[in-house]
Amino acid sequence: MGAGGDPIVSNGFWSMGGYARYVWPCFAFACLVLAWNLWSARRYRAAARLRAARMLVMEAGVDS
Amino acid sequence: MWTWFYKLASPPHVYTAAAALAPWFLGLAAIGIGYGLVAGLVFAPPDYQQGDAFRIIYVHAPSAWMSLFAYTTMAVAGAIALIWRIKMGHAVAAASAPIGASFTLLALVTGSLWGRPMWGTYWAWDPRLTSELILLFLYAGVMSLRSAFEDPARGDRAAALLGVVGLVNVPIIHYSVLWWNSLHQGATVAKLGRPSMPGSMLWPLLSMLLGFMLFYGAVLCTRLQGEVLNRERQAKWVREAIQS
């Protein structure tokens, strides 16, 4: 049960007391920002690893 | 005397520590944010004045705090790099900037969405809002400056200097609600010993703050690994790390 004894998932919950159009976009945007942070950081690290590996391969090619 | 400090800040040590810490930070962040979301959205009672709109605080306040925390981390790391010539300081500063900028944008957008039903407007040139917007511009300036030089070392130094100078904006943001007349509400949690929120509203907020901090730590560690690899790709230890 949620606040005030209402069922947790109910119209009252989703309507947020009439403020749904302000509350839910905030949480949606927060999820988007957190997901973007995680994705971009992992992509940045993967690209750096790839660059370092390519350099290693190029140097090995020059040496041989 | 400072040998331990330099050893701690050596690139291989920083890379290994960041790789080890990132998954722990991320796991704990998921717990903190998960609890905060459920407790804040479902179990916390509506505010007697703001109703359910107050629940925006659970993403707005942590993102605003993290915008200041990430900037302070960036500026302090830059200052350490400038003063002691520890190059990993520049790497930490470079890794922190985009994360901090995204939290600043999140704080501004959620604040704007909260302002519409409470103040009747999405935006006002209020001291708190304006100084937070300046923070976003500072982040953008620091990131642009770093990539504006052909010599990366010069870019790092210029960005660190701007970061340190811009640090003056952090106390301005924090105390703006006290120093000037402001639409923005005053301190809610940071009142020493007497937060003006009941526990049922406060604990989810503290949990979200902790979760956001740990999330910042996880993303910082991941970005830092990339920064270290980019900066040290000629080093022998990087070759060994890539080959292994």
Q: What is the pLDDT of residues A12-24, one digit of tens each?
A: 788 898 999 999 9
Closest CA to B243 of A64, A47, A55, A12: A55
Which chain A positions have a beta carbon within 8 Å of B44's beta carbon?
A: 3
Mutate to test the interface with B, among A8, A15, A45 (most CBs of B within 10 A): A45
Mutate to test the interface with A, among B43, B54, B59, B67 (most CBs of A within 10 A): B59
Q: For residues B102 and B105, what is the distance between their CA atoms, to the nearest angstrom?
A: 5
Q: What average pLDDT does the segment A45-58 reach?
A: 90
Predicted structure pTM score:
0.91
Half-sphere exposure of B67 (CA within 13 A, CB side): 32
Q: For residues B115 and B120, what is the distance between their CA atoms, to the nearest angstrom?
A: 7
Q: Say if CB B136 and CB B98 are below 8 A apart.
A: no
Count of CB pairs separated by less than 8 Å, A with B: 110
- Mean pLDDT (chain B, rounded): 91
Which chain A positions have a beta carbon within 8 Å of B56's beta carbon?
A: 22-23, 26
Q: For residues A33 and B79, what is the distance between their CA atoms, to the nearest angstrom?
A: 28
What are B231's strand-pairing partners? none
A63 vs B86: which has the higher pLDDT: B86
Q: Say if CB B77 and CB B96 are below 8 A apart.
A: yes
Sorted by sequence, the CB contacts under 8 Å of residue B96 that are 6+ apart come out as B70, B71, B73, B74, B77, B220
Query: Are B53 and A49 a contacting pair at CB < 8 A?
Result: no
User: Which chain A residue's Cα is nearest to B233?
Assistant: A52
Name the percent of chain B lying above pLDDT 90.
72
Q: Tokens 């509400």 label which residue? A: B185
Q: What average pLDDT does the segment A47-60 reach?
A: 87
pLDDT tens-place string over residues B84-115: 989 899 999 999 999 999 999 999 999 999 99
User: Which chain B residue's Cα is nearest to A55?
Assistant: B233
pLDDT at B174: 87
Where do the domains of chain B lie? 53-184+196-243
**SS3 category, B21:** helix
Query: Are A26 and B60 a contacting pair at CB < 8 A?
Result: yes
Q: What is the mean pLDDT of each run of 10 residues along chain B (244 residues)?
A: 75 94 98 97 91 95 96 97 93 97 98 92 90 96 95 95 94 84 69 71 96 98 96 86 76
- Flag whether residue B104 sits within 8 Å of chain A, measured between CB atoms: no
Query: Are B46 and A17 a contacting pair at CB < 8 A?
Result: yes
Sorted by sequence, the CB contacts under 8 Å of residue B115 that are 6+ apart come out as B121, B122, B123, B124, B183
Buried b (16+ CB within 10 A) or exposed e, A18-57: ebeebbbebbebbeebbeebbebbbebbeebbeebbeeee
Q: For residues A25 and A45, what is the distance between their CA atoms, to the nearest angstrom?
A: 30
Which chain A positions have a beta carbon within 8 Å of B239's beta carbon?
A: 52, 56
ipTM of the complex: 0.91
- Flag whether residue B113 sits within 8 Å of chain A, measured between CB atoms: yes
Residue B22 has a CB neighbour count (10 Å cut-off) of 22
pLDDT at B100: 97
